[in-house]
Structure 1
C-alpha cells in the first residue's frame, strides 16, 4: 500500500466509510501516486480480502475512459468531433454530430420499442436499433443522460473511424470492457436502496431498463455481462489504473483539446435524470446532482452504486474510488465520497 503522510487523513476517511464489502482508493498528485490503498473483501461471502490488483466493475466510469479514447482519436486526426455522425456511420438516421453524442445532446438516450432478451450483449442489435431510432428531442437543443446508449453510439463511431474495437482502445487506457481474465473481478454486491421504481419519467425507465437484461438481478456478475462490450457500463478497472489515467490526461491531450473536452457543453436541466447536470465532451462535470468536487473545473465521472473518478487541474490531483458494495443515491454525493473529498479539499 502507498500513503503519503500528507494524505493520511484522506485514507482514514476512506477506511472508515467502506463498511460491508470492499473498495480501493488511489490518488495521483502532481504526477506522483501518493495514495494506493484498499480495504475489505471482494467476494459475495465476505471471506476473500481485497488485494492490490483487485479490479471491479466501475459502471459509468467506463464512459469517461471511452471519451478519452475518442479525444485521442481526434488528436491523431482519425475523428472530427464536429463532423456529422453519418460521416462515419452512413446508416445512422439522426442529424447530429459526434460532439453531440459525447455531450449527451443527440436525443438518443433510450430506444422506444421493447428490445428482445439478449439484445444487451449483441453489439449489432444495439447499434442497428440506435441507427434507426427517432430522437426524443431535436439534437443539440437540450441534453439528457445517455446512460447506456452512450457506449454504443460513441463506440460505433470510434470503431468505424479507427478500425478498432472499443475494448481495444479502452484496454490501452487501463480499463477492460467486460472481463477477459485470468482470475475473477470483485463480486458486485446487490444494490442497496430503491432502484428502477425511483426513475422520474418514461424516458428514464427506457434509458435504464431497455433492454430488460439491464435490470436482471446480479447481471454484473454474469458470464454474459463479462463477455460483452457495453462501453457505457461494463468496464472493469483498479482504482490505481483510473487515477493514473486521469493524472496523465493533461499530458496525453493537447491543452487546446483538453480545454474543449472539459468545458461545459451541457449545463442545466437533464431530460432523463430530471435534475441539474453538467457535461463536457464525454466527461461528467460537478453538478447539483453529482457534486463530487467543489471545483467546477474538475472533470471525471461517477458510476452506479458509488464508483468515482475525477481530475482537478487546479489542485493538481486525480482521484479514483472503486467499491463493490453498491448504494443507490438518486441525488447528491455517495455518502462514502463526502468524507474523502472533504479531507482532500480541507
Structure 2
C-alpha cells in the first residue's frame, strides 16, 4: 500500500501548509469516517464542524475557512478543494486490471482489422471486418467492435460494451461497462392498413470526439441518416439515453437517467441534470443548464437555467413553487 508524508503530498498539490503531522498518509476518506492514517476534505463551513471529532491526520481545506488543524495535524489550504481532491485521488488510485497477454487467444479478430501498437484485447472480444484501432487502445474482456469502426489512440473500452458498425470514436475516450454505441435509432410509423408499425431503417452512424467519457449502461443510438455526434470532452453518466441524430457540442455534461430524444442539439458546455428529459428537435444553446427532473419541450437560450416540468426559467419556477407553498399553508 502506498503512503506519503504531508510534505510529499504538498509537493504535488502546491497548497499552503498549515501545521504539520508526522503520520504517514495511506489514503483519503470522508471526514467522519477517516482514521489517523488518512487525509480528508473540508470544502465548506458545512463540514468544518466535524473536524474537531475527526480522526484524520490532515485535510484539504478551502482557503476561506478559518480553522486550526490541532496538534500533530495539518491543513493543506487550496482555492478549489474539488480539483485538489481529484489530484489526491489520482495519487492513491489503485492499478487497473492486468493483461497477462496483450491479445488474449480467445479474442476473435478479423483478418482485415488494423490493430495499433500497444493495444490490449481481452478474452472473448470480437473485432470485426475493417476495424481500425489506434495505438494503446484497451478492450477489456467481452467487448464487441463491429465492422468499419475506427477507435482513436488511448481509448479504453470496458467489458460488455458493444460498438456497432461504422462508428467513429476519438482518442482518450473511456466507455464503462455495458455501453451501447451505434444501435438502431428508435423509429416507427403506423402501417398503411393501421394494423401494425413499420420500422424506419437507421442507416447513419455515431461520431464521438476526443476525451469523451460514457458511464455504464448508457446508450448512444446511430442516426437515421448522417450522424449522431458527441463533441470533444463530453462527460455522460450512467443510464443515459442519447437518441438518433442528436448533436452534443463540446464539454457537455449529462447526469444519470437523463435523456435526449431524436434530433436534439446541445451547444457547448450544456449541463443536463439527473432524470431530465429533452423533447425531440429541441435546441439547448451553449452554457445553459437544465435542472434535475425537468422536462424541456422548447428551445433554451444560451446561459439560461431552466427547471420544472415543463421546464421554464428557474427563478420563475422557484417563485411559483414558493407561492404554491404559501397558498397551501393558508388553506
Place the TM-score, normalised by the shorter chain, in its bin: under 0.3
Higher relative contact order (CA 8 A, sep 6+): 1
TM-score (norm 2): 0.24
Which structure has the greater CA radius of gyration?
Answer: 2
Q: More strand by proportion, 1 or 2?
A: 2
Q: More helix by proportion, 1 or 2?
A: 1
